[in-house]
Amino acid sequence: MLPDVENLIALQQADKEIHRLKDEIAALPRRVAAIEEKLAGTKAALEKAKTAAKADEASKRQFESAIQDLQGKISKYRDQSLAVKTNDQYKALLHEIQFAERDIRANEDKILEVMLNTDNREKEVKAAEAELKAETAEIEKEKNIAREETAKDEKELADWNTKRDKARGGVNPDTLQHYDRVAKHRGSGLAEVREQKCMGCQVMLRPQTYNEVRSGQRTMVCDSCQRILYYNPEHDTQMTTATATVSKRRRAHPKFDASQAWYYRGEYGESGEVYLSFANANGSSTRRIYDVHTGRRVGEILTREGEYRLGFPEDLNNSIRLNGSWAEEEIDSWGDEMPMTVLDILQRDLDLARSEAASPRSRTEAVPVQHPAAS
């Protein structure tokens, strides 16, 4: 993987974490503010309940004093009734007394009503007081949590900012500018490629682009979303499954006398790394050469007299023999570029051949390099 891409992956990760931490830090005071708002609401409800209780008390006193007045009037009427001369006067006083008594009952009813209300009011006040107490305790707790979390987040944020600066410093300025531009518009400037698809926009890549991304030789961008592309074979499920299956069993060794043979060479003239394909038929042999990274065919298809070891001995120097067998017609149908699946198979076999060669246990058995003189 290109160092630029590695740094961009680190940068993307840092940007994501920084974003998350900033959100978290911003959310904590909001949470406290929401509880404080609720607290203010509870305080207001408590005040209202207290004021209403006071008003009730006042009206109760008012009704009580009205009753006292009426009782005074009644005893006055009774005194007067003792001194009246006529029956009419007596009746009139009796009426007044009855009116006053009725008013007293009405006031008593009102007092009763207020007292019933007072019970509810007291309950309301008590509930509001209890709620206020609980909320006050909660807000203190929340404030403490917020303080602790903010401190922790801010420390983490500082760490991520350092990582971010380091990652940015490791990316070529032009690439970084491109990343920033795309990230600004699309939210991310980097996308992984899996199963030949850009995971940023889900668009299939052209085989050429896919091969170049996988080879990791230069920075590639998605034609469709402009994100910088990278490839991680461990994430590619198809590939990983296939590799896992292959590595479980021992690598099959190519047959020496096979009619078709595949080789890898680390450098081939000006072409760099190549795969060589040989096919023996009717006493002659045909050679095709493909670029390892792009799968593109290099040069012309060449046919020579004799089987390939005799026809192309110079090609086999410093080469690694690989497993691979495809029908001649199939190879013809590839044209100028071998399919990704073929490229994958060869790449996997090459990796296995290399690790086999590197492992001391199997060094004696593996025959990664075949020199014509050795056969």
Interaction site with Zn ion (CB under 5 A): 198, 200-201, 222, 224-225
Q: Smallest gap, in angstroms, from Cβ of residue 235 to Zn ion?
A: 16
Please report where in the chains the tokens 């190519």 appear, as a residue: 254
* Residue 229 beta carbon to Zn ion: minimum distance, rounded to whole angstroms: 7
* Residue 221 or 292 with smaller CB distance to Zn ion: 221
Q: Which residues pair with 322 in a beta bridge?
A: 262
Segment holding 341, helix H or strand E: helix 340-358
Residue 12 C-beta: closest distance to Zn ion, Å: 14
Q: How far is the CB of 232 from Zn ion (least distance, A)?
A: 16
Q: How far is the CB of 197 from Zn ion (least distance, A)?
A: 8
Give me the amino acid identity at 303.
T
Alpha-carbon gap, residue 66 to 60, rounded angstroms? 10
Q: Which two tokens stand for residue 312?
A: 């192309």
Asked if residues 153 and 25 have their Cβ atoms less than 8 Å apart, the reply is: yes
> What is the C-alpha separation between 36 and 115, in angstroms, rounded?
34
Nearer to Zn ion, 230 or 312 (CB): 230
The span from the CA of 86 to the CA of 108, in Å, is 33
Closest distance to Zn ion from the beta carbon of 228 (Å): 10
Q: 200 or 311: whose CB is closer to Zn ion?
A: 200
Token pair of 97 as six digits: 């007394």
Nearer to Zn ion, 157 or 225 (CB): 225
Nearest distance, CB of residue 208 and Zn ion, angstroms: 15
User: Based on CB atoms, which residue is closest to Zn ion, 224 or 375?
Assistant: 224
Residues 6+ away with beta carbon under 8 Å from 237: 194, 195
Q: Which lies closer to Zn ion via its Cβ, residue 222 or residue 292?
A: 222
The residues facing 272 across adjacent strands are none
Using CA atoms, how far residue 358 sits from 98, 247, 362, in Å, is 121, 15, 8
Q: Rounded to an integer, what distance in angstroms lies between the CA atom of residue 197 and that of residue 305?
A: 44
> Of 198, 248, 244, whose CA–CA distance to 221 is shortest?
198
Give me the least distance between CB of 221 and Zn ion, in Å please: 8
Strand order in the sheet with 220-221: 197-198, 190-194, 228-231, 220-221
Cβ(322)–Cβ(349) below 8 Å: yes
Which CB atom, from 230 or from 278, has the smaller least distance to Zn ion? 230
In Å, what is the CA distance from 242 to each residue of 40, 238, 249? 63, 6, 12
d(CA 195, CA 237): 8
Q: Tell me the closest approach of the beta carbon of residue 214 to Zn ion, in angstroms.
A: 16
